[in-house]
């Protein structure tokens, strides 16, 4: 269930209506979040605008030398491996065989056929790991924004990096580790209630990065602040 489906359902939680966070699925992940998953036991990569969790693949082929090139790029974007038109690994004409083969200058990796026929190559894996959606976990946020969230009840403030296309409900989901009652607050910007189905930009919280660049100013000096007002409802998500 995507956030849009959850938002339409609008179950009640005390005084606050919103998506059911028990079944909430993130749509966007920032490059910084992908970069945190950089170990064989927790291995994510991104390519062509999507994010993939290859942890199960790494566990299945643990100890296989063909896994090494993938481990070396754990937590990184590997779009340069792919042809954006075919969404397949880039190909070239092999100078040895004169045939069209996958181009792997970083070393042959899992599910890429050997240069020449070999009796010890197992090709019974079905689709290669980069085809299909079995490892797909979400989209890569092409652009991110930094916001401040201020709890007016406790005066606590947190700074979050969020995807520019995320809805406010998705931002609430990001903020839950800091405040389990986040959905029990009214979220406001410059005195106006935010529409939780809208993005920051759609709520009038403009991305002024280009203006700051044009004026040769450091955009980090100004981070928009969203204020949270408690609704006297102790709903915990």
Residue 13 is predicted with a pLDDT of: 41
What one-character DSSP code corresponds to residue 199?
Answer: B
Q: Quick one: tokens of 118?
A: 């070999």
In sequence order, what are the residues at sequence separation of 6 or more whose Cβ sits closer than 8 angstroms to the Cβ of residue 199? 164, 165, 166, 167, 168
pLDDT at 1 over 90: no
How would residue 118 be classed by pLDDT, with cut points 50, 70 and 90?
confident
Mean pLDDT over residues 21-47, rounded? 93
Report d(CA 211, CA 216) in Å as an integer. 8
C-beta of residue 72 within 8 angstroms of C-beta of residue 29 = no
pLDDT at 14 over 80: no
Residue 15 is predicted with a pLDDT of: 39
**Of the CATH numbers 3.40.50.970, 3.10.20.90, 3.40.630.10, 2.30.110.10, which one belongs to the domain with range 144-229?**
3.10.20.90
pLDDT tens digits, one per residue of 169-191: 999 999 999 999 898 899 999 99
pTM metric for this prediction = 0.83
pLDDT tens digits, one per residue of 157-167: 999 999 999 99
What one-character DSSP code corresponds to residue 66?
Answer: G
**Number of other residues whose CB lies within 10 A of the CB of residue 6:** 19
Report d(CA 80, CA 91) in Å as an integer. 12
Domain-by-domain residue ranges, the chain? 31-140, 144-229
The count of C-alpha atoms lying within 13 angstroms of the C-alpha of 58, restricted to the half-sphere facing its C-beta, is: 20
Which alpha helices (DSSP H) does 61-124 contain, by range? Answer: 68-71
CATH architecture, domain defined by 31-140:
Roll (3.10)
pLDDT tens digits, one per residue of 62-116: 999 999 999 999 999 999 999 999 999 999 998 888 889 999 998 999 999 998 8
Report d(CA 147, CA 158) in Å as an integer. 8
How would residue 219 be classed by pLDDT, with cut points 50, 70 and 90?
low
| DSSP of 26-41 | --EE-HHHHHT-EETT
């Amino acid at each position: 269930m995507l956030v849009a489906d959850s938002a339409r359902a609008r179950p009640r939680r005390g005084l606050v209506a919103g998506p059911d966070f028990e079944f909430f699925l993130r749509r966007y992940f920032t490059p910084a979040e992908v970069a945190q998953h950089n170990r064989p036991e927790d291995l994510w990569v991104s390519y062509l605008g999507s994010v993939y969790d290859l942890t199960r693949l790494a566990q299945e082929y643990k100890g296989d030398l063909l896994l090494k090139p993938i481990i070396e790029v754990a937590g990184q974007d590997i779009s340069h491996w792919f042809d954006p038109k075919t969404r397949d690994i880039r190909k070239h004409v092999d100078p040895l065989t004169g045939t069209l083969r996958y181009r792997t200058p970083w070393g042959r990796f899992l599910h890429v056929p050997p240069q020449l026929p070999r009796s010890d190559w197992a090709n019974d894996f079905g689709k290669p790991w980069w085809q299909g959606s079995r490892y797909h976990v979400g989209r890569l946020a092409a652009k991110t924004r930094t916001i401040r969230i201020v709890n007016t009840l406790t005066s606590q403030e947190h700074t979050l990096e969020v995807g520019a296309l995320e809805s406010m409900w998705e931002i609430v989901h990001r903020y839950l580790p800091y405040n389990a009652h986040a959905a029990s607050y009214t979220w406001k910007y410059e005195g106006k209630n935010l529409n939780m189905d809208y993005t920051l930009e759609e709520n009038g919280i403009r991305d002024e990065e280009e203006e700051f660049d044009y004026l040769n100013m450091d955009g980090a000096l100004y981070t928009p602040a969203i204020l949270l007002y408690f609704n006297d409802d102790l709903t915990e998500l």
